[in-house]
Structure 1
Amino acid sequence: MDRTVSFDVAVDVLADACARGARTILIGGRSGSGKTTLARAVAERTGHRVVHLDDFYPGWGGLAEGSRMVARDVLAPVNPGFTRWDWENNRSGGWVPLDPSEVLIVEGVGTLTPENLRAARRRGRSVTARVELRATERRERALARDPGFVAWWDHWANQEERHAADPANVLSAVDLVVTGG
């Protein structure tokens, strides 16, 4: 069911999906691929809220837990939200409540799992997108954005590999594959 599109077409398709009643947009991909850029572009077009997994991964070893938090917390039918991660002090921060009636654009590594898609569908119509970019470009982008990431790149990339290798963790098909993020 994958449909491969350019970045600009993806913005149009996802914004149109929101206009047609999509309640949740799930955007996944590896670090530096362009997930955040895509989510922000769709949000600018639609006015909908973006939830970044970067805001609540529990530290540099927290990809798997952050992924689970999407269905359990962010997309919960009652009292949705998440506990912000205080990256500077390496500890949990405060609770960020979400309005269960608002349309959400959720982006991050670990977003595209069957459990997260089920939770999104419970909220109503959902659309999934995976952003892809060559590894060298992804690394260059990610480290330019956050120079502190350089010390953690290999550690995080290993988590991405483990996550992607487990068929229970990732969707076998998405609505859109976005190239050139």
Structure 2
Amino acid sequence: MGKDKNILLVGVGGQGTILASKILSTAALAQGYEVKMSEIHGMAQRGGSVVTQVRVGTEIYSPVIDQGEADMIIAFEQLEAYRWAHHLKKDGVLVVNSQKIIPLPVLIGAAVYPGNIIARLRESAGRVVEADGLRLAAEAGHAKATNVVLMGICARFLDFPEETWQYALKARIPEKLLQINRKAFALGYDYAAAV
């Protein structure tokens, strides 16, 4: 993996952002790295923002990722990618699930959902990897596995061996859902290789 990695996971309540962070943290710990993780829930149960910061390395003292310091942002929804893109390093990777979840202020007409988010991100961020995580998760067998599809994409940018990721999935996913999630992870991993 080389130097320390700062990975920001951003989404909306109910998308599995925290579970994805725990899978990532478990994989990093299994590789012998120090891991610090923090969670921020903004009315998560009502569709609010959920942000998780995961720092991985040899000597990690704080879980906080400052603006412009994220090596990677995994965004489970377009607007969340847009809100947090300023945390990405100039040469960082922004993985964006193409899904849009319309927030309450937009639904009631008090705000407008920004247009052309992906195009705007491509102009301002480092490398942008857009994926239809929801479609890939449905292909794996369940739409709720979108978070694991995104972890499969993330895995392409971290040099942890396949068995480490499989260990992390088994440690964090209930047995009855493990096969679907293994397939979701593989689909994300293969997708990232093709883009």
Q: Report the TM-score when normalising by structure 1.
A: 0.36
Higher relative contact order by CA 8 Å / sep ≥ 6: 1 or 2?
A: 1
TM-score using structure 2 length: 0.34
